[in-house]
Homo-oligomer: A and B are copies of this chain.
Amino acid sequence: MSEEKKIPYKIYLSEEEMPREWYNVRADMTKKPAPLLNPGTGKPMTAEELGAVFCKELVDQELDNDTAYIPIPDEIRDFYKMYRPSPLVRAYCLEEKLQTPARIYYKFEGNNTSGSHKLNSAIAQAYYAKKQGLKGVTTETGAGQWGTALSMACAYLGLDCRVYMVKVSYEQKPFRREVMRTYGASVTPSPSELTSVGRKILAEHPGTTGSLGCAISEAVEDAVSHEGYRYVLGSVLNQVLLHQSVIGLETKIALDKYGIKPDMIIGCAGGGSNLGGLISPFMGEKLRGEADYDIVAVEPASCPSLTRGRYAYDYCDTGKVCPLAKMYTLGSGFIPSPNHAGGLRYHGMSPVLSELYDQGLMRAVSVEQTSVFEAAELFARVEGILPAPESSHAIRAAIDEALRCKETGEEKTIVFGLTGTGYFDMVAYEKYNNGEMQDYIPTDEDLKPGFDSLPAIG
């Protein structure tokens, strides 16, 4: 490998080559994703109703199914320049290790302090909040990637940032909490005494360690009950996929620059923020009949919303204060096994991705967590990056495909999204290193309570 390669190890675009517009894949969809519904009336949420919770311009983006390209404001583009363009990496070392004829590329979004792609949407949402003259924003965070990203964006813009962090994470992941505090965010363990929904839950379940669903409900209540605040969310929403399209757009520009045509695009999928962003421009070509790609969502076998969920209207949060979304879902009552260490725990999937999946434009696979950590370890050792457990789902699927190519001799070009680093996930790695990690595949019986929690609406 000593000669300079025709394709470098890392393709960096120049700042001039960075996208100037986000791409809205909904514009190219003939059948659009289903609208959000008001849980009270069962009718589509209006802009006015959504405006009580979300910033105005974000509501417009949420509801806009027609505009294909939306300009990235200069201020956001300047912020992007602090950590973007992110590299598209040719995985030469992994290819050599696997002895595969496949060519593997990954778009690495972890080279920023939030540790993941979440910053791409955090800065956009914070920017529009600032532009609207708000004082601050509220949100929830589980493992903390989204909260960290939002706290960074808010620090940069001088916005107040109030994060409700699931209590068990607050206590067991103090380092993420301290990163957020260093960025000036207030971090509250959820459930808390600060909100009525929090107080209610504490009264009913005094020993509870919290849940993402409860933290969402608290963050929303905090936003709507304080003048000058709105709620922001790091995944699932249409607007988030729009902002995250910067990942896919950069990937496409870099591939085009070197004349590389991918056969397969792989992304991990929890709520869909990374996958939706990565595949957007490729899916656009597919929708317009200009190109074909094998697009693959990878989810944990323990939280299999696409591969085993139902396509139905569901609550986005367990507190049921948010609008209903039509999505592939396990039901808001679904609780992943406590054994599950690998992230991607959300019960539903972005309505855009759900609709694309339902139309057969992408497929989904599920993988078990010990095999995910095996892939993570192998990748770390040869490619030098310790990946986030979430990202490692995509690594697993990419390695499986590369090994398949080794058998068949196919020279497929595989692109996958490496969403982030695992520096704050060492407890899970320790479990794996000690041989204590267990797999878990829910039985149909295990999935029943979740499905039973689905609303009758929609």
Contact = CB atoms under 8 A, between A and B. Distances in A.
B8 A426 contact: no
A75 interface: yes
A384 B15 contact: no
A2 B427 CA distance: 42
A9 B380 CA distance: 29
A184 B16 CA distance: 41
A95 interface: no
A301 interface: no
A77 B2 contact: yes
A78 interface: yes
Nearest to A386: B113
A145 interface: no
A175 interface: yes
A433 B81 contact: no
Q: How large is the interface on A (under 10, 10 to 19, 20 to 34, 35 or more residues)?
A: 35 or more
Given A2-B74, A77-B2, A78-B2, A181 B383 contact: no
A175 B81 contact: no
Interface string A1-35: 11011001110101110000000000000000000
Contacts of A377: 182
A174 interface: yes
A395 to B, nearest CB: 14
A451 interface: no
Q: How many copies does the complex hold?
A: 2
Given A1-B78, A15-B8, A82-B9, A113 B380 contact: yes
Nearest to A180: B433
A426 B152 contact: no
Residue of A75, A112, A426 most packed against chain B (CB within 10 A): A426
A423 B426 contact: no
Interface string A366-404: 000000000001001111111000000000000000000
A179 interface: yes
A178 interface: yes
B182 A382 contact: no
A128 interface: no
A103 B384 CA distance: 33
Interface of A: 1-2, 4-5, 8-10, 12, 14-16, 74-75, 77-79, 81-83, 93, 111-113, 115, 152, 155-156, 174-175, 178-179, 181-184, 377, 380-386, 421, 423-424, 426-427, 429-430, 432-433
